[in-house]
Amino acid sequence: MPIEISCTGCSQLLRVSDQHAGKKARCPSCGTIVQIPKFGPDEPSPLPADDPFSDSFPQQSEPKPNPFADRPPSTPNPYLSPAQPSGRSGGFQKAHRGGLVLTFGIVGVLCCMPLGIAAWVMGASDLSEMRAGRMDPGGMDTTRVGMILGIVSVGLAVLGIVVNVLLMVVGAAL
């Protein structure tokens, strides 16, 4: 079982094999010589034994009993990145534009393809904002549908151009 100690120079968590107990180690970060404590087999470990994450999540500062204790109990948005900083409490969130994106997407499919492009671009940027936690994720479904409609409108327009060109080619060949 490795021994974990905090560097006296930079608080970096150092992990050394217990065969070095009682010896001195040089911190790889700042070069400070750190005395490795000698733990007998019946002495308690300096880390809380009930912490299952202490081995897989080395921390820069002093270890907390549970590194996930300060997380919200349920994540409102499953698409949020787990690496997102947890300082979201009281953070400013932009209101989503789901209704606008959806309207643009519908109008883009029905008549004017440029609005479909607008729905596509706006929807894509808004979805990435929501995933980053900077925008209200409540409109994610509406925004996604509007963006898909925008993509469809662009696809229909491209298809129409292709069909027209084919018809012209066929007409010229006859």
Applying CB under 5 A, the residues found at the interface with Zn ion are 7, 9-10, 12, 27, 29-30, 32
Q: How far is the CB of 9 from Zn ion (least distance, A)?
A: 4
Residue whose token pair is 């479909």: 116
Minimum separation from the CB atom of position 28 to Zn ion (A): 8
* Residue given tokens 């948005």 in the structure block: 77
- Which tokens in the block code for residue 131? 């995933």
Closer by beta carbon to Zn ion, 30 or else 166:
30
Q: Which of residues 9 and 37 has its CB atom nearest to Zn ion in the complex?
A: 9
CB of 13 to Zn ion, least distance (A): 10
C-alpha distances (whole Å) from 128 to each of 90, 121, 122 are 20, 11, 10
Between 27 and 140, name the residue whose CB sits nearer to Zn ion: 27
Tokens 């698409």 belong to 79
Cα distance between residue 59 and residue 5, in whole Å: 11
Shortest Cβ distance from residue 102 to Zn ion (Å)? 55
Closer CB to Zn ion, residue 63 or residue 150?
A: 63
Q: Which residue, 9 or 155, is less far from Zn ion as judged by CB? A: 9
**In sequence order, which residues have a C-beta less than 8 Å from that of residue 160 and are 6 or more positions away?**
none
Query: In the chain, which residue ranges form alpha helices assigned H by DSSP?
Result: 98-110, 113-131, 140-173
Q: How far is the CB of 29 from Zn ion (least distance, A)?
A: 4
Distance CA 51, CA 157 (A): 58
